[in-house]
Structure 1
Amino acid sequence: MKLVSYRHQNRPGFGAVKDEGVIDLAKHLPAVADLAALVSNPAALAEARRLAATATADFALAAVELEPVVPRPNKIICVGINYVAHAAEAGRTVGKYPVIFHRYAQTLVAHGAPIIRPRVSDNFDFEAELAVVIGKGGSHIKPEEAMNHVAGYTCFNDSSVRDWQFHTHQYGMGKNFRGTGSLGPWLVTADEIPDYRELSIKGMLNGECMQAGKLSELAFDIPALIAYVSQALDWQPGDILATGTPSGIGFKRQPPIFLKPGDTFDVVIPGVGTLSNPVADEA
């Protein structure tokens, strides 16, 4: 099942994608507030699956304005240097513990919306990633139980302002410019992806493949990451875990390749979807 958050006729909503239409789950499940609440509620999720199989679409997918899959996640946990080849190109080695940093919800944009190159830098880079959406919260989660906490998967572009990223040894500032992180187009529920390790990922700039990897190549796998973070923070429904980017990023190329207005960057994960965003300058 594919789930989306959107605005339709200027109203926020969430629904299930069916062919080229959307079943308005907000209408059919009025007691459920949003997509994050839906994926945390097994009974409501079961009813959503029934509706996705039997109901007629309420409107065309083209008639809605997509929002980030979870428009306002409580937290977005990102992982750096999580593919061995990417670590090598960055001149880093994979350590004993995962490299964790954070994004803010206000940096997110939806599929189809422009990602924004900031006024203060032209070192605007791309990072194609698989993102995990948490459905069941918890703390001190065991790795062998961690996948029970996964609601599903979506695509993420962790676009980075590289010079700001390296102003200090803590590079969170370069990851948190307004309008730089895209998330979508939808959440594919975990039951549709029996083994995420069989997924592949590509980052495409103007139709040219810049990044390619397999989720089996993660240095720290999804269960390990969920378990590690849960020792410090309680996971909550709707939280996002961005699993890291494969090699091929722009600033390590010779010469460097940075995003500029007029470009389009796509994150392509067969079985999950394609997240596509044009690039625009900050107004």
Structure 2
Amino acid sequence: MKLVGMVDPGREPGRRRIVIGVVVDDRVTPLTDVDDFYADLPHWLERARAVRHGTVPLAEVSLAPPVPASARVLCVGLNYRAHAAEGGFRAPEHPTVFGRWTASLSVDGVPAPVPANEPGLDWEGEVAAVVGARLCDAGEQEAEAAVLGYAVFNDLTARTAQKLTAQWTLGKNADRSGPIGTLVTADEAGSLSDGLRLVTRVNGEVMQDGNTRDMIFGVSELLSRISATLTLHPGDIVATGTPEGVGYVRTPPRLLRSGDVVEVEVDRLGTLRTPVTDASARSGA
């Protein structure tokens, strides 16, 4: 089953409300407010599974991230050995977790602006896991069962800001730098440990070609370890890390600039497309 966030098409102009919709072929059926959806997931998932036909053409929908504004976005760095090595890091013994704000998220097709003080943005194609149940001190089996689904994610990074200090927060929260794709439920997507191929392309050229089976910490271990410190709630996102092939380690470094288009494609999850624009587009952030 495929789920999207969308602006309520029946809402009065100027009164924006985000709802969850069920995608069937090239059409979508709105379900309910995004907060209500995650507050009573069993009920709304049952309703969603009963949807057989979409009511609104997907092309006419204004998409939004498929999570509530209150969600935590927890990203995992250096979770592929080859990516850690290309940046000069040793493979971590513990997950390297940093945070994003939901305000930095965007969706398929929305341009990502390059901040004026950056030479460009770097790509980091990933798979994001969306939590579907409360997790506190969870074991790996409980954590695996709590995954609602997966989505393609691009952890676009402002490297200059990232490298100013040992804290990565600023460089990982540039305006509209966290595009996320359609949420595919876990029963349809399968397990990341089975191996989903992840390919990142810039202007059609392959930059990353990895596989989720190569993650150092799998999804269940990530969720379990995170829940030992902070309680996870339905709608929280855990971005599972990027494989090798990012831009800043290349000779010479290659970054995304205005006019470029970056695409991240993941088996069973689809393709996430992000055009890149200049800093003038930040006025609408």
TM-score by length of 2: 0.92
- Which of residues 8, 26, 31 in structure 2 aligns to 1:25? 31
Deviations 1:212-240 (A, max 9, x none): 11100001111111011101111011100
Does 2:153 align with 1:156?
yes
Instruction: Count matched residues.
Output: 273
- Tell me the SS of whatever aligns to 2:169: helix
Cα distance in 2, alignment partners of residues 66 and 263 from structure 1: 22
Confirm whether residue 44 of structure 1 aligns to residue 49 of structure 2.
no
For 2:37 and 2:19, how far apart are their aligned partners in 1? 12
Q: Which residue is equivalent to 2:249? A: 252
TM-score (norm 1): 0.92
Instruction: Give the unaligned 5+ runs of structure 2.
Output: 281-285
Deviation at 1:35, TM superposition (A): 6.5
Where does the alignment leave 5 or more consecutive residues of structure 1 unmatched?
Answer: 27-32
RMSD: 1.5
Deviation at 1:195?
A: 2.1
Structure 2 distance, partners of 1:2, 1:219, is 27
Q: CA deviation at 1:172?
A: 1.8
User: Which residue does the alignment assign to 2:283?
Assistant: none
CA distance in 2, matches of 1:260, 1:168: 24
Look up the equivalent residue of 1:49 and give its one-letter code.
Answer: R
> Which amino acid is 1:24 matched to?
P
Q: CA deviation at 1:144?
A: 2.2
- Percent of aligned pairs with the same amino acid: 38
After superposition, the C-alpha distances for 1:20-41 in whole angstroms (9 at most, x for unaligned) are 1011213xxxxxx317724852
* Counterpart residue identity of residue 228, structure 2: Q
Work out which of the residue numbers 83, 87, 90 in structure 2 matches 1:86.
83
1:82-126 deviation per Cα after TM superposition (whole angstroms, max 9, x unaligned): 001101101111121111111111111111100111112114211
Residue aligning to 1:30 = none
CA contact (8 A) 2:68 2:235 kept: no
The corresponding residue for 1:99 is 96
Q: Tell me the CA shift for residue 163 of structure 1.
A: 1.4
Which of 265, 270, 274 does residue 268 from structure 1 map onto? 265
Report the residue type matching 1:48 in the other structure: A
One-letter code aligned to 1:245: T
> Match for 1:191 among 174, 187, 199?
187
Q: Is the 8 A contact 1:39 1:151 kept in 2?
A: no
Q: 5 Å matches for 1:1-150?
A: 1-9=1-9, 11=16, 12-26=18-32, 33-34=33-34, 37-38=37-38, 40-51=40-51, 54=52, 56-70=53-67, 72-150=69-147
Who is 2:277 aligned against?
Answer: 280
Give the AA of the match of 2:37: A
Contact 2:34/2:68 (<8 A) preserved: no
Alignment counterpart, residue 201 of structure 1, candidates 178, 198, 201: 198
Give the ranges of 4+ consecutive aligned residues of structure 1 lying more than 6 Å apart after TM superposition.
none
